[in-house]
């Protein structure tokens, strides 16, 4: 699929880079160049910590094309400690039960591959925090 | 050519050290008894307990990114100052398209950086480290990142399948003054020895049986270690820790005794019984496990081995900066103790050993 689109999105996808509003300090993800809070211009890049918690989640059994190999998998709404909410797959759950409020952290993983010959697409997922105490 | 006579060790003009380090070991474990259950009805001697296996969404790129982030968290430097991102592996996800550019992009090192993938069987990581020492030591760069990472595979039922594992480590090399361990010197020993190989189009490697032990692993490691120690006027008792490439539990212990090291010196860096042989990451995760616990001013000898064949030996001395930095990121045993056992069927699914179309 569109290789150029993957390339433009890679910074936000690989490393959770969003924006911070220089006027009201609101942290923005995904980046949209306009602050949703005060409607001013907001183009300052901001590196999110990657820490957050599960706000809600659901398990996907019938995966869309390109994601079949991972099914079943869990998709969650994750609330980042900096404020924004985003949708992402959970990974490395092991035998741990998922709970609302569970602390998670961002990892960069393989999201999908466009067949045997296509490109591998990498991006953020979230896993249970490796070290419980980490803020 | 005479051996060991006035062989110059590799030492840069400017002193170089490790500014940050990071390990990565995936969550899943395949016990050796489970491989034996499938292929040998539960019989046969097992050289390790279990091996670390990558998840469905992991590969050398994703694992390198996490190890690199851990190294950067410890170093606490601006990633745009990194002038080289080098990844050594024999399981790069693409045949053509570098692993290193994705890693560099993910950690914020692009675009003012060198990026390259290294290959030399299980010593691809240490040779990337040596090159990074040269890059920083010549003052061409302030920081260079070297990674050894693998998701090793053995043919189903082959002896390698018990041990071929996933994991590795990243090292940020920089000026000695701000390092947690200083590189005292290094040395490489290489010959054309056909002990183990994989042709370009093949999925699994072959081993040249006659060559695997004495003329390969033992000859290269002892030559590299002895030459380096002799050139540095050091002996085994001068080191608190020694780490060898560890394809199984027996080889590193035996080569250690051959060289005059005690089991005590080998113990901390010997992870193969509980994670398997992580190829290009094998000796390097041994080093991260040692750095996780070493005291300042301790000496460490690291000797890798790569089939084909060659060994890189490196002598390190820890500094007073080590204790504060090691707590800034997850330690090697944080990953080892995060453990989910899987059965052979799940393993086969994770590694594409089942064809679905
Ligand atoms: Zn605003």
- Summarised one tens digit per residue, pLDDT across range B177-206 is 999 999 999 999 999 988 766 776 677 776
Residue B93, pLDDT score: 92
Residue B2, pLDDT score: 44
Tell which wins on pLDDT, A116 or A135.
Answer: A116
At B103, list the tokens: 């890693």
Question: What is the DSSP-derived secondary structure letter of residue B204?
Answer: S
In which band, very low, low, confident or very high, does the pLDDT at B44 lie, cut at 50, 70 and 90?
Answer: low
- Judged by CB atoms closer than 8 Å, whether chains meet at A107 and B107 is answered as no
Partners of residue B338 in chain A, C-beta under 8 Å: 94, 130
> Under 8 Å CB-to-CB from B5, ≥6 apart: which residues?
none
Question: Which of the residues A49, A108, A119, A126 would you substitute to probe the B interface, choosing the one with the greatest number of B C-beta atoms within 10 Å?
Answer: A108
CB B142 within 8 A of CB B90: no
Beta strand B166-175 pairing with B16-24? antiparallel
pLDDT in tens, B315-348: 999 999 999 999 999 999 999 999 999 999 999 8
Residue B6, pLDDT score: 67
Q: Do domains B16-180+329-350 and B183-324 have the same CATH topology?
A: yes
All domains of chain A in start order, with CATH: 1-48 (no CATH), 50-130 (2.40.50)
Residues β-bridged to residue B187? B313
pLDDT of residue A135 exceeding 70: no
Second-level CATH architecture of B183-324: 3-Layer(aba) Sandwich (3.40)
At B241, list the tokens: 């820790």
Arithmetic mean of pLDDT over chain B: 91
Is B50 designated active site?
no
Q: At what angle do helices B99-106 and A3-15 cross, to 10 degrees?
A: 50
Partners of residue B61 in chain A, C-beta under 8 Å: 110, 120, 122
Which helix (DSSP H) or strand (DSSP E) does residue B243 occupy? strand B241-244
Distance CA(B182)–CA(B179), nearest Å, equals 6
The size of chain B, in residues, is 357
CB B244 within 8 A of CB B221: yes
- Judged by CB atoms closer than 8 Å, whether chains meet at A131 and B55 is answered as no
In which band, very low, low, confident or very high, does the pLDDT at B84 lie, cut at 50, 70 and 90?
Answer: very high
Query: What burial letters (b/e) apply to B194-229, b meaning 16+ CB within 10 Å?
Result: ebbeeeeeeeebebeeebbeeebbbbbbbbbbbbbb
- Provide mean pLDDT across the span B18-27: 98
pLDDT in tens, A43-65: 899 999 999 999 999 999 988 87
Distance CA(B33)–CA(A18), nearest Å, equals 47
Residues of chain B with pLDDT > 70: what percent? Answer: 91
| Domain residue extents for chain B | 16-180+329-350, 183-324
pLDDT of residue B248 exceeding 60: yes
CB B87 within 8 A of CB B128: yes
Beta strand B82-88 pairing with B114-118? parallel
Q: Which fold has domain B16-180+329-350?
A: Peroxisomal Thiolase; Chain A, domain 1 (3.40.47)
pLDDT in tens, B196-246: 667 766 777 766 555 567 789 999 999 999 999 999 999 999 999 999 999
Distance CA(B333)–CA(B291), nearest Å, equals 12
Residue B287, pLDDT score: 98
> Under 8 Å CB-to-CB from A129, ≥6 apart: which residues?
A51, A103, A104, A105
- Judged by CB atoms closer than 8 Å, whether chains meet at A122 and B61 is answered as yes
In the set B34, B50, B58, B122, the catalytic residue is B122
Residue B208, pLDDT score: 59
pLDDT in tens, A71-118: 889 999 999 999 999 999 999 998 888 999 999 999 999 998 776 677
pLDDT of residue B168 exceeding 50: yes
Residue B117, pLDDT score: 97
- What ipTM, to 2 d.p.? 0.91
Query: Angle at CA B60, nearest 5°, toward B59 and B64?
Result: 120
- pTM, 2 dp: 0.94
On whether any CB of chain B is under 8 Å from the CB of A67, the answer is no
pLDDT of residue B273 exceeding 50: yes
Chain A, window 23-52: residues with a beta carbon less than 8 angstroms from a chain B beta carbon: 47
Tell which wins on pLDDT, B45 or A106.
Answer: A106
Sheet holding B166-175, edge to edge: B114-118, B82-88, B143-151, B166-175, B16-24, B181-193, B308-318, B299-303, B241-244
């Amino acid at each position: 699929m569109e290789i150029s689109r993957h390339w433009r999105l890679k910074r936000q996808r690989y490393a959770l880079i969003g924006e911070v509003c220089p006027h009201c300090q609101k942290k923005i993800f995904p980046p949209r160049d306009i602050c949703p809070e005060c409607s001013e211009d907001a183009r300052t890049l901001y590196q999110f910590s990657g820490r957050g918690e599960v706000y809600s989640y659901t398990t996907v059994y019938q995966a869309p094309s390109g994601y079949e190999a991972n099914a079943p998998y869990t998709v969650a709404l994750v609330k980042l400690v900096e404020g924004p909410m985003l949708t992402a797959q959970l990974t490395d759950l092991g035998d741990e039960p998922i709970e609302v409020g569970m602390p998670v952290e961002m990892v960069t993983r393989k999201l999908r591959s466009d067949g045997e010959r296509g490109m591998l697409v990498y991006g953020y997922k979230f896993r249970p925090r490796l070290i419980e105490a980490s803020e | 050519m005479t051996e060991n006579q006035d062989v110059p060790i590799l030492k840069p003009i400017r002193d170089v050290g490790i500014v940050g380090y990071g390990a990565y070991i995936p969550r899943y474990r395949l016990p050796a008894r489970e491989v034996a259950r499938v292929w040998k009805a539960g019989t046969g001697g097992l050289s390790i307990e279990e091996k670390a296996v990558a998840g469905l969404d992991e590969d050398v790129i994703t694992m390198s990114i996490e190890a690199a982030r851990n190294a950067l968290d410890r170093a606490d430097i601006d990633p745009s100052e990194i002038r080289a991102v080098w990844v050594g592996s024999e399981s790069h996800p693409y045949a053509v398209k570098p692993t290193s550019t994705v890693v560099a992009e993910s950690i914020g090192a692009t675009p003012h950086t060198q990026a390259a993938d290294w290959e030399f069987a299980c010593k691809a990581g240490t040779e990337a480290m040596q090159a990074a020492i040269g890059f920083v030591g010549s003052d061409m760069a302030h920081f260079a990142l070297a990674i050894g990472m693998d998701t090793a595979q053995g043919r189903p039922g082959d002896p390698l399948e018990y041990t071929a594992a996933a994991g590795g480590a990243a090292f940020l090399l920089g000026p000695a003054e701000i390092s947690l361990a200083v590189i005292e010197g290094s040395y490489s020993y290489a010959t054309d020895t056909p002990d183990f190989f994989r042709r370009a189009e093949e999925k699994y490697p072959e081993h040249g049986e006659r060559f695997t032990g004495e003329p390969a692993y033992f000859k290269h490691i002892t030559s590299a270690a002895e030459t380096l120690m002799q050139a540095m006027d050091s002996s085994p008792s001068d080191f608190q820790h020694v780490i060898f490439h560890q394809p199984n539990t027996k080889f590193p212990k035996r080569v250690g005794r051959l060289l005059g090291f005690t089991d005590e010196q080998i113990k901390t860096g010997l992870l193969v019984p509980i994670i398997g042989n992580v190829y290009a990451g094998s000796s390097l995760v041994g080093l991260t496990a040692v750095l996780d616990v070493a005291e300042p001013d301790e000496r460490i000898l690291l000797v890798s081995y790569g089939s084909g064949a060659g060994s890189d030996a490196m002598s390190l001395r820890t500094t007073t900066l080590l204790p504060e930095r090691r707590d800034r990121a997850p330690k090697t045993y944080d990953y080892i103790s995060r453990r989910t056992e899987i059965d052979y069927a799940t393993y086969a699914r994770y590694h594409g050993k089942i064809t679905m179309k």
